[in-house]
Amino acid sequence: MDNELLIGAKVDNIIGVKVKINFIKLQDEYVIYDHLSGDTHLLDEISGELLCSLNTQEMSRDDLLKKLVKNFAELTWLDINNYLDVFIDRFVALDLLNVTNQRA
Amino acid sequence: MNNIESLPKHQLKHQIVNGLRFRLGCFNICLTSSIADVSDHIQRLYGPHQLINENDFIDFHVDLSAPSKLRRYFRPQVSFYFDGYVPFKPLPYAQAAAFFEWGLNWCIANHSNQYLIMHAAVVERNGLAFIFPGTPGSGKSTLCAALVCSGWRLLSDEMTLLSMTDGKIYPVPRPVSLKNKSIEVIQQFSPGAEFGQLVTGTAKGSISHMCAPEQSIQLSNQPAVPSKLIFPKYTPDSETELTPLSKGRAMLSAAENAFNYSVLGVQGFEKLAEMIEQCDCFEFKYSKLEEAIALFSALSDEQ
């Protein structure tokens, strides 16, 4: 918000996968392998879909929100926002995602 | 080539002193020891294993002997040597036979990266491998021993070797290690089962090894296809309960149970994923061996 007031432009986050990962979908879950740490993680279907998309190409936070709204229409806007925040925080903490600011 | 049991006792003892070379599943072993308990252990529990030629490649050269002359007489101890290297602290002399088994577990787990090695018992029926990963106390070896005594083929009671090449499970049919109450449970369950020496006072309590069935040893060059991944939990007085487990969770638990998963990196991940895709995965709670065996036999007949 401060940035918007200062420079008069909206700031969006660009999110991308930081390291090489392998993933497999098993039933309605994803298991991913982090090449750098050697760690293996279990993800629910939504997180798995998001991470797979990000593994193909970087996306802005807005794009991720739109993707979630489109694919998971049964969730409310607030739920989706919260979900996305938790998703980003979790995988940034695991050093799997990279978040950079970009002016829209 | 002859089997170990073809050697008269005195000749076997002499050969172990000079290096007994034999086949153990997909490995060749050379065992050297002058300790009587070790030669007794080999004679009682390794009879059907095939002797190999002088010129055959040896995967593991192991030696069990006293760490010093003094330790033969004063508070006697035994050391385990692998290729001349001593990976462990010495143990009391009376634990020499069990030390051979533990040391060999370590050799295989740390030097066989052509396999993804899980800490799991594995048995086979109708060509299908049932894998039972488990932490100590989960009852995997007891369950494995009971299944083997009921006609299932033993591939291993301790380590599941998943080939990184063809994704099949390769056998290492060695004596089944039973601890504490499990020894009596299996002796009652199968009075004909042959056991080795009872070793008391180990870090794990009392240990005895049950002989692997001769047929399992004879089939030790035949791998099996992974079919079921079952996480057992022995719970006293519980009902027999087989609950489906999500494949994702099963994969995570199997990875945690693998000795060399981190060594194999992404190849280990891919091979494990391949195995999980072809397996049905379950959690299993039990207290009655007869019910467990009936359930798994029915499950293997369904295929």
Q: Position B201: which residue type?
A: G
Distance CA B73, CA B79 (A): 14
Would the CB atoms of B276 and A35 count as touching at under 8 Å? Answer: no
**Quick one: tokens of A31?**
């298991």
pLDDT in tens, B7-30: 999 999 999 999 999 999 999 999
Mean residue pLDDT of chain A comes to 86
Burial bucket for residue A90 (CB in 10 Å: 0-12, 13-18, 19+): middle
With beta carbons under 8 A apart, name residues in chain A contacting B266: 22, 33, 35
Look at residue B119 and tell me whether its pLDDT is greater than 90. yes
In this structure, whether the domain defined by A11-103 belongs to CATH 3.30.479.30 is answered with no
Task: Count the neighbouring beta carbons within 10 Å of the beta carbon of residue B125.
Answer: 20
Report H helices in B32-78: 36-45, 70-73
Q: Is the pLDDT of residue A39 over 70?
A: yes
- The pLDDT assigned to A10 comes to 54
Task: Give the C-alpha separation, B5 to B217, whole Å.
Answer: 13
Does the distance separating the beta carbons of A22 and B248 come in below 8 Å? Answer: no
Overall average pLDDT of the B236-260 stretch? 97
pLDDT, tens digit, 9 for 90 and up, residues B125-165? 999 999 999 888 899 999 999 999 999 999 999 999 999 99
Q: How many domains does chain B have?
A: 2
Q: How many CB atoms lie within 10 A of CB A49?
A: 17
User: What are the tens digits of pLDDT across the range B67-100?
Assistant: 776 666 677 899 999 998 999 999 999 999 999 9
Residues of chain A positioned with their CB less than 8 A from the CB of B269:
22, 31, 33, 40
Q: Taking CB atoms and an 8 Å cutoff, what residues of chain A touch B251?
A: 24, 26, 31, 40, 42
Tokens 């995988």 sit at which residue?
A91
* Residue B261 with chain A: CB contacts under 8 Å: 40
Q: B300, B125 in Cβ contact below 8 A?
A: yes
Q: Determine the Cα–Cα distance for residues B49 and A48; give it in Å rounded to an integer.
A: 48
User: What are the tokens at B149?
Assistant: 């005594």
Same domain for B140 and B284? yes
The sign of the CA dihedral B137, B140, B141, B146 is positive
Which of B110, B131, B166 delimits the end of a domain?
B110
B277: chain A residues, CB-CB within 8 Å:
24, 26
Domain match, B144 and B275 both: yes
> Mutation test of the interface with chain A: which of B116, B118, B247, B280, choosing the one with the most A Cβ atoms within 10 A?
B247
Whole-number Å distance between alpha carbons of B167 and B225: 8
The full DSSP string for B141-174 is HHHHHHHHHTTPEEEESSEEEEETTT-PEEP---
pLDDT of residue B135: 83
**Contact between B266 and A35 using a beta-carbon 8 Å cutoff:** yes
Phi, psi dihedrals of residue B137, rounded to the nearest 5°: 95, -5
Rounded Cα distance between B54 and B70, Å, is 33
CA distance B94 to B60: 23
> What average pLDDT is seen over chain B?
95
State whether B144 and B59 are in the same domain.
Answer: no
Q: Which of B92, B110, B128 is the last residue of a domain?
A: B110
Q: Does B130 share its domain with B70?
A: no
Residue pairs spanning A and B at CB distance below 8 A = 43
pLDDT at A81 over 70: yes
The mean per-residue pLDDT over the stretch B196-209 comes to 93
Substitution target from A23, A25, A26, A44 for chain B, most B beta carbons within 10 A: A26
Shared domain check, B188 and B120 = yes
Instruction: Find, in chain A, the residue whose alpha carbon is nearest to that of B275.
Output: A26
C-beta atoms of A26 and B270 within 8 A: no
Structural domain boundaries, residue B69:
4-110
Cβ pair B208, B198 in contact under 8 A: yes
Largest Cα–Cα distance in chain A?
Answer: 48
Report pLDDT for B121.
97
- Considering the domain architecture, whether residues B204 and B122 belong to the same structural domain is answered as yes
Give the whole-angstrom CA distance, residue A91 versus residue A83.
12
Residues counted in chain B: 303
Contact B303, B195 (CB under 8 A): no
Residue A8: band (very low, low, confident or very high) from pLDDT cuts 50, 70, 90: very low
When CB atoms are compared, the residue of B248, B262, B266 closest to A31 is B248
In angstroms, how far is CA B122 from the centroid of its own chain?
9
Region of B296 please: left (phi>0), alpha (psi -120 to 50) or beta: alpha
Residues 6+ apart with CB under 8 A from B232: B132, B134, B138, B139, B140, B143, B284, B285, B286
Residue A4: pLDDT over 60: no
